[in-house]
Structure 1
């Protein structure tokens, strides 16, 4: 099973519209398949280009590790590890990445970047909820 890019696009636009209504900074949304390959990217008008790689990195990390980037960061801290220990230059420990599961099977992951990290996490959860409804 994989996530459908049309489902992701619809969920993303709904989440982006809601985010825009609150007049916060523009963000980037990324979705990857279970292997971490990019399947969807949306950059809100005015979002800095640098956010693209950050959103993709958050989604990629969540897919490859099978946990949120928040949980991954805690693991790094608890086990006194560094990102370099994982030998993957695409990893990030920035919060705002979530894996997506269907019937306990990893089907992809998403990442959001552009606001304070706490806000990225909230938007990412909202994005995930909209996708999960369709799975």
Structure 2
């Protein structure tokens, strides 16, 4: 009886550990997909897809200002595309989950004409599965 109880408890522990590991993996996967899809949308100039990466009430802080809400964030990207920012890419350096949030920190780079620009970002994501969205993002430009 004791062995059976121990065995059931052990199997339950393993199942929970695997489920938590799978949940973390799927959060990481959703975060990586969101980032990849956003960069692709940016380089296509797809404002709707770029804005869709953000929660309806998200906040985005950039050297150009503070933008609150998906519509304001969409307009900020429209302005960036107007000045000719292109060849955008991003590289996550740190990604960690805490509770139902994901924190990503990394580097970005792009060009205006032939002039390269680069900087850093942090983003907090929330949600589940394919519904993961950015709820807050801060972007900086690196000093030359």
Tell whether the structures are fold-level matches, with TM greater than 0.5: no
TM-score by length of 1: 0.31
Bigger-Rg structure (1/2): 2
Q: Which has the higher contact order (CA 8 A, sep 6+)?
A: 1
Q: TM-score, normalised by structure 2?
A: 0.29
- Give the number of the structure whose residues are more often strand, by fraction: 2
